[in-house]
């Protein structure tokens, strides 16, 4: 079912308060500033020092650790849609077209439909959240994301009692995502969360980082950030959200079910079959550091998995 | 053999390492320089091993003598690069945490295979002198057949490390298979003038 909503479909309760509207304007301006810089041939990195999103609240969930440099956050990425090398996404993602963008919502919910990115963002106040990110490969970063809780978005679609999981899909566009011309993974990229994980206050829909709109290599225009799970769970450039009863089959689980489980919670005690997960190299640091249970978010999320065997449910 | 060949090859073999050291100091190895250093020295080990294996077929195809004369040096450079590669793992990656290293060797097939490759290369380097060659006689040739086993282990080590995109290890595997095929009698005889190669061997 595809449905671009017209003004008559929009409930008065959904009409944006002025403060949020201004916030969104700043977001749009940030995007314009970035594309303007690109047109003028300026390094987009220069924008990192400017803060186009203003008046962002700094979340209580933010960690107080030194942030990974902007050039590393935007230059060292896993985004196989643009190539399997770490520098490939930064080199190739310029071909992605993020405007217009829409997200299709399907499945077990009262308000399915295709929503424009503007519709999606409209009611949400953006906040900055500084989160640790731990890659399954054994490196980590600290990234100041900009976004809003996924829970707030999900509530708008009114999932039914049958919605046990949320499944997400990345854009599939081999024209603009050259990495998809080879079947390194099953395209489109699919990820999923259990409903309670999706509704957890730490789970973020991100639209920016370092004060500006998300660079394309980081999953523009909208991506998921689940800080207590390995990075590949935080799906990028989302075009589909589906509420389902059965546990989704994510792309990495499909590729190697014994290596990448559905949960993929950061866990120093459960090794990847081919390498240890006990330590990690924080990008920018010389020596490795110990990996923390649930990536240091155990206090907030451990209760989600009470009574579960995390070795089996890896 | 032209007198300049050996020193030139010696310098060429040092260039990749020189570049890596420079890039490391100049912060040009990307966001994760230690990982890059480990990967690069590993890949260069594999390259030198395969280049070493090129020398005998090259000598047979061209009848030049120099490929055989520089073969030992190339093999020793492979050993040198694998030592740097292993050091980056032991020092920069594990920081001499022997418990963790031991667990890695036992539990991670890709590390087991890599370590085995290194261990097998040690006797080859140790017996590379003329004196050892004379002392071991026929056994020297037998021992040095390990030069065919080690690159295979190297390719496997690389293959098992990769997450999903095996293109690069596949290329090395292919090169290895081709180099082994060139040693297979039916293939090598067709390439030369009806089996005269045996008379040309030094």
Q: Is-contact A108 B4, C-beta < 8 A?
A: no
Question: Which residues, 6 or more positions from A91, have their beta carbon under 8 angstroms from its beta carbon?
Answer: A82, A83
Rounded Cα–Cα distance for residues B176 and B173 (Å): 5
Are B164 and A286 within 8 A, CB to CB? no
> What pLDDT, on a 0 to 100 scale, did the predictor assign at position B130?
95
Q: CB-CB: which of A72, A276, A287 is closest to B95?
A: A287
Q: Selecting from 3.90.420.10, 3.40.50.720, 3.20.20.70, 3.60.110.10, what CATH number does the domain A55-305 have?
A: 3.90.420.10
User: Which residues of chain B make contact with A75, given a CB cutoff of 8 A?
Assistant: 30-31
Are B31 and A185 within 8 A, CB to CB? no
Q: Is-contact B117 B159, C-beta < 8 A?
A: no
Q: What is the DSSP letter of A9?
A: G
Peptide bond into A62 cis (omega under 30): no
| pLDDT tens track for A101-155 | 999 999 999 999 999 999 999 999 999 999 999 999 999 999 999 999 999 999 9
Longest CA–CA span in chain A (Å) reads 58
Peptide bond into A284 cis (omega under 30): no
Strand pairing category for A102-107 and A204-209: unpaired
In the A/B pair of chains, how many CB contacts fall below 8 A?
Answer: 49
Cα-flanking dihedrals φ and ψ of residue A203, to 5°? Answer: -75, 125
> What pLDDT, on a 0 to 100 scale, did the predictor assign at position A30?
52
Kindly provide the ipTM of the predicted complex, given to two decimals.
Answer: 0.83
Q: What is the DSSP letter of B3?
A: T
| pLDDT tens track for A214-225 | 999 999 999 999
Mean pLDDT of A18-29: 48
Q: Is-contact B165 B155, C-beta < 8 A?
A: no
CA distance A114 to chain B (A): 33
Query: With DSSP H G I counted as helix, E B as strand and the rest as coil, what are the percentages for chain B, rounded to 5?
Result: 80, 0, 20
Rounded Cα–Cα distance for residues B149 and B152 (Å): 5
Q: Is-contact A151 A199, C-beta < 8 A?
A: yes
pLDDT of A45 above 60: no
| pLDDT tens track for A293-304 | 999 999 999 999
Instruction: With H, G, I as helix, E, B as strand and everything else as coil, classify residue A133.
Output: strand
| pLDDT tens track for A165-183 | 999 999 999 999 999 999 9
> What pLDDT, on a 0 to 100 scale, did the predictor assign at position A54?
74
Q: Which of A72, A75, A81, A84 has the most B C-beta neighbours within 10 Å, making it the best mutation to test the interface with B?
A: A84
Are A274 and B110 within 8 A, CB to CB? yes
Q: Which pLDDT tens digits describe chain B residue by residue (202 residues)? A: 789 999 999 999 999 999 999 999 999 999 999 999 999 999 999 999 999 999 999 999 999 999 999 999 999 999 999 999 999 999 998 999 999 999 999 999 999 999 999 999 999 999 999 999 999 999 999 999 999 999 999 999 999 999 889 999 999 999 999 999 999 877 766 655 544 444 444 4
Q: CB-CB: which of A84, A139, A184 is closest to B32?
A: A139
CA distance B167 to chain A (A): 10
A37's tokens: 């810089």
pLDDT of A44 above 80: no
Alpha-helix runs per DSSP H in chain A? 18-39, 70-73, 88-92, 117-121, 150-157, 195-198, 251-255, 298-301
SS3 for B72-97 is: HHHHHHHHHHHHHHHHHHHHHHCCCC
Are A75 and B30 within 8 A, CB to CB? yes
- The Cα-based distances of B50 to A56, A214, B123, B176 in angstroms read 56, 44, 18, 7
- Nearest alpha-carbon partner for A171 in A102, A263, A264: A102
Domain ranges of chain A: 55-305
> What pLDDT, on a 0 to 100 scale, did the predictor assign at position B156?
97
Cα-flanking dihedrals φ and ψ of residue A139, to 5°? Answer: -125, 165
């Amino acid at each position: 079912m595809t449905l671009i909503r017209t003004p008559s479909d929009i409930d008065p309760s959904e009409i944006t308060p002025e403060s949020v509207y201004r916030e969104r304007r700043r977001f749009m301006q940030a995007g314009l500033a970035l594309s303007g810089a690109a047109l003028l041939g300026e390094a987009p990195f220069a924008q990192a020092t400017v803060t186009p999103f203003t008046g962002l609240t700094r979340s209580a969930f933010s960690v107080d650790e030194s942030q990974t440099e902007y050039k590393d956050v935007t230059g060292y990425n896993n985004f196989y849609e643009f190539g399997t090398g770490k520098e490939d996404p930064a080199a190739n993602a310029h071909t992605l077209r993020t405007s217009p963008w829409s997200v299709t919502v399907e499945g077990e919910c009262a308000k399915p439909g295709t929503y424009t990115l503007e519709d999606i963002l409209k009611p949400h106040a953006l906040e900055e959240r500084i989160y640790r990110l731990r890659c399954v490969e054994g490196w980590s970063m600290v990234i100041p994301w900009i976004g809003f809780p996924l829970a707030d978005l999900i509530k708008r679609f009114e999932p039914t009692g049958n919605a046990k999981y949320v499944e997400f899909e990345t854009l599939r566009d081999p024209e603009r995502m050259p990495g998809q011309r080879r079947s390194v993974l099953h395209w489109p990229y699919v990820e999923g969360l259990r409903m309670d994980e999706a509704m957890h206050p730490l789970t973020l829909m991100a639209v920016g980082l370092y004060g500006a709109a998300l660079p394309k290599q980081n999953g523009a225009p909208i991506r998921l950030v689940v800080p207590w799970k390995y990075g590949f769970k935080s799906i990028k450039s989302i075009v589909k959200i589906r509420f389902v009863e059965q546990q989704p089959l994510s792309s990495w689980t499909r590729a190697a079910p014994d290596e990448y489980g559905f949960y993929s919670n950061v866990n120093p005690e459960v090794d990847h079959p081919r390498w240890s997960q006990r330590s990690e190299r924080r990008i920018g640091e010389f020596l490795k550091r110990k990996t923390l249970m649930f990536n240091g978010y155990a206090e907030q999320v451990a209760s989600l998995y009470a009574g579960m065997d995390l070795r089996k449910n890896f | 053999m032209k007198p300049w060949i050996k020193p030139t090859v010696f310098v060429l073999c040092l260039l990749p390492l020189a570049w890596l050291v420079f890039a490391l100091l100049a912060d040009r190895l990307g966001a994760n320089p230690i990982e890059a250093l480990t990967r690069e020295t590993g890949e260069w080990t594999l390259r030198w091993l395969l280049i070493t294996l090129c020398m005998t077929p090259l000598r047979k195809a061209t009848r030049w003598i120099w490929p055989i004369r520089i073969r030992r040096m190339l093999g020793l450079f492979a050993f040198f690069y694998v030592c740097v590669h292993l050091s980056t793992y032991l020092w920069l990656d594990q920081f001499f945490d022997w418990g963790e290293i031991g667990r890695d060797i036992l539990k991670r097939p890709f590390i087991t295979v890599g370590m085995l490759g290194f261990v097998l290369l040690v006797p080859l380097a140790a017996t590379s002198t003329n004196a050892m060659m004379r002392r071991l006689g026929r056994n020297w040739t037998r021992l040095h057949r390990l030069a065919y086993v080690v690159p295979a282990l190297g390719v496997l080590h690389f293959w098992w490390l990769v997450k999903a995109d095996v293109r690069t290890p596949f290329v090395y595997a292919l090169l290895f298979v081709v180099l082994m095929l060139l040693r297979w009698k039916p293939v090598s005889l067709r390439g030369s003038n009806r089996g005269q190669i045996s008379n040309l061997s030094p």
